[in-house]
Structure 1
Amino acid sequence: MEDKKKYFRIGFVGAGTHANNMLYPSLTFLDDFEVERVAVCDLSEEKARKVASNFGVAHVYTNHQEMFAKEKLDGVVVCINAKGHPPVVRDALQADLDVFCEKPTSITVEESEELAELSRKTGRFVMVDHQKRRATAYQKALEIVKSPSFGKVTMVEAKMHGHIYDNLFNCMMEWQIHNIDIVRAFAGDVKEIVARMCRLADNRASIAILLTFENGAVATLNWGSEAGGKGRFCERIEVVGSNDEAVIVENVRHVIHYKEDESKEWAPNWVPILKNQTTVIDGYVGNLREFMNCVLERRQPVPNIEDEVRALRVIYAIAEQLGIPAEWTITIGDR
């Protein structure tokens, strides 16, 4: 006899490119849930109606407050833009709704701190969609790191190259904040930061960062707009333990676990089945599943708004050391 599927009524704010490419399609692969797609809201009614038609959403709104007031929802997905997230998340929390918010949750640390305080006050969750936490390769690596044989994490080496944005701050907030979040997943909270940069242009640079963590571990991060682009070689993490073990994740697809005298490797077999879908391998499906389970079970999701506050503090500290202005130039609706 098949297990009974869990039921979840979900609403959406945002009908842009990222939501259409990654979040809405992920609903199809939540095979352990019956998800009622109650409503979608966007400032563009045309975009909202297109989402409703393409993904089977019942109702369309252009005012999120009206949607929160009229619809019975278990949770809401907010995917607009860092500048637009805070007022919508705030309204959702005040409407007694749990929130799944795309990263970054805000442009400033202070705005996310205010959301964290409101989350604590209302008792409602804000989960942040740093999807790499539930990417298949990183899940396997985290399982290895948390095993008793691995010992204490002592060192992390990471790189993240790729996207060229209008300026370096946009790149750090939209792209390299992923690197901060996943490194924190392995090593914990950051205590000290030292950053250096080779600047090529206002929006092009190579950046080297040394982190010290509260638990004593250290990390080196290498970020840039050069060498690797968006493709096969843009992302890599190696985590070293105190018991002569380490694990490497190459570009979110390939895992190598090595010890003194042996190593094991994992990669997707690319058979077109559920577990090999891009939205599954990259972690979007896993994050949405975690959000829904946490709402139903009333347990705090991870990563949450407190994690985002810590990640944003690191980003701002790096930008300040490097003299990078905290200037946000991405237009609302671009996501």
Structure 2
Amino acid sequence: MSKIKVAVIGCGSISKHRHIPEYASNSNVELVAFVDPIIERAQHYAELHGGKAYSNYVDMLKAEKVDAVSVCTPNYLHAEISIAAANAGAHVLVEKPMATSAAESEAMIEAAKKNGVFLMVGHNQRLMPPHVKAKEILESGKLGKVLTFRTSFGHPGPEGWSVDGRESWFFRKEEAIMGAMGDLGVHKSDLIRWLLDDEVAQVAAFVGTLHKEGTDVDDNATCLLRMKSGATGSLVASWTYYKGQDNSTVLWCENGVIKIDTDPNDQVIVELRNGTVERYKVGQVATNEKQTSSGVISEFVTSILDNKPPRISGEEGYQALKVILAAFESEATGKIINL
């Protein structure tokens, strides 16, 4: 088959570190267009990789016949651009959170269906080697049922990651809509659903801005989740882990405990009630400081080549987002929200 023609919309940090290099190193892909309102950013990548630079996606979709797009823009534009790309007949890979509301998510899923294209969400946590290993161990049944859990994702905040630093859209509520929860929390709601092969039934949450000055987007959230199976646990998202990142998950099960990314050397540790301890070195989870291949791009490209719907579909992204939206609703109402 001829190469998949791809356009990258939004040329900030996630494009710079993940999407663009991973497309560029994929022999099945031709990068044909880069879009950014700051045209110099788009031009920079067009010069590096070939293709054309555009300052807006509408012009690009008119001018180019692309097979697929990556949507790497501020959150408030995810739905609008994904729907326009689907209507132009392109497969869509959208960064998380896939959208900022239930209505937007549903419209995106509908647009992809109607146009016969794939919609995939960039939930890379399921593709990280420690999480893949943990899922395999859970599926083996040796730990029995998951009873309780904690999962957290925290780092010092987007100012160290975003190409715009402290001036980033991440801190502007009208563009970000949600802060640490949209950035990190939604990764963990996706991960816990996937690891447990279960849906979240109830959410209670404290979500707020504790320390980032001059912004009204949330920088911390602590959530209680009850799963359909009855398993209960906590989900934490934070932009104020100033002493370094935490992306760990611990699951307490009938027959023991599994610890994921809690140890600097062994990424997965299983401690069984009978006294045996298993330690697995399977490779690190990617961090902002230490980029490893996210696996998202090759997963997206493979699904297009094989004409198989992506595993991390729009529907999956929507289920993960619902948990985050419920957390905001819980904070606003002081109530436990039923999903």
Classify the TM-score, shorter chain: 0.7 to 0.9
What's the offset of the Cα at 1:111? 1.1
Partner of 2:39: 45
Matched, 1:8 2:4: yes
What's the offset of the Cα at 1:35? 1.9
After superposition, give the CA deviation of every residue in 1:279-313 in whole Å (9 maximum; x if it has no partner): 32xxx2x1111111111222221322212222222
* Change over 3 Å in CA distance of 1:252–1:116 after alignment to 2: farther
Q: Work out whether residues 45 and 61 of structure 1, in 8 Å CA contact, stay in contact via their aligned partners in 2.
A: yes
- Counterpart CA distance in 2 for 1:116 and 1:250 is 36
- Counterpart CA distance in 2 for 1:205 and 1:17 is 19
Partner of 1:317: 326
Matched, 1:302 2:311: yes
After superposition, give the CA deviation of every residue in 1:108-140 in whole Å (9 maximum; x if it has no partner): 222112112222222321111111111122122
- Counterpart CA distance in 1 for 2:283 and 2:129 is 12
Q: Which amino acid aligns with 1:42?
A: D
Q: Work out whether residues 141 and 249 of structure 1, in 8 Å CA contact, stay in contact via their aligned partners in 2.
A: no
Partner of 2:164: none
Q: Cα RMSD (Å) of the superposition?
A: 3.1
Q: 2:230 aligns with which of 216, 235, 248?
A: 216
* Change over 3 Å in CA distance of 1:17–1:225 after alignment to 2: closer
Secondary structure of the equivalent of 1:106? Answer: coil
Q: 1:279 aligns with which of 284, 289, 292?
A: 292
1:1-335 equivalent positions in 2, closer than 5 A: 7-30=3-26, 33-54=27-48, 56-164=49-157, 166=171, 169-187=178-196, 188-196=198-206, 200=210, 207-226=221-240, 228-229=241-242, 231-232=244-245, 234-244=246-256, 246-250=258-262, 254-260=267-273, 261-267=275-281, 278-280=291-293, 284=294, 286-323=295-332
Q: Which amino acid aligns with 2:182?
A: M
Q: Which amino acid aligns with 2:33?
A: A
- Counterpart CA distance in 1 for 2:236 and 2:322 is 18
Q: Work out whether residues 156 and 244 of structure 2, in 8 Å CA contact, stay in contact via their aligned partners in 1.
A: no
Q: Which amino acid aligns with 2:106?
A: E
* Change over 3 Å in CA distance of 1:85–1:222 after alignment to 2: closer
Q: Work out whether residues 200 and 228 of structure 2, in 8 Å CA contact, stay in contact via their aligned partners in 1.
A: yes
After superposition, give the CA deviation of every residue in 1:148-184 in whole Å (9 maximum; x if it has no partner): 4343333321122334574894121122222211112
Q: Which amino acid aligns with 1:250?
A: T
Partner of 1:273: none
Q: Which amino acid aligns with 1:257?
A: V
Q: Work out whether residues 161 and 230 of structure 1, in 8 Å CA contact, stay in contact via their aligned partners in 2.
A: no
Q: Which amino acid aligns with 1:144?
A: I
What's the offset of the Cα at 1:141? 1.5
Aligned length: 306
Identity rate, percent = 26
Q: Work out whether residues 181 and 221 of structure 2, in 8 Å CA contact, stay in contact via their aligned partners in 1.
A: no
* Change over 3 Å in CA distance of 1:123–1:155 after alignment to 2: farther
After superposition, give the CA deviation of every residue in 1:88-114 in whole Å (9 maximum; x if it has no partner): 111111111110111122222221121
* Change over 3 Å in CA distance of 1:252–1:46 after alignment to 2: farther
What's the offset of the Cα at 1:206? 5.9
Partner of 1:331: none
Q: Work out whether residues 163 and 171 of structure 1, in 8 Å CA contact, stay in contact via their aligned partners in 2.
A: no
5+ long unaligned stretches in structure 2? 158-169, 285-289, 334-339
Q: Work out whether residues 78 and 101 of structure 1, in 8 Å CA contact, stay in contact via their aligned partners in 2.
A: yes
What's the offset of the Cα at 1:38? 1.9
- Counterpart CA distance in 1 for 2:58 and 2:108 is 17
Partner of 2:162: none
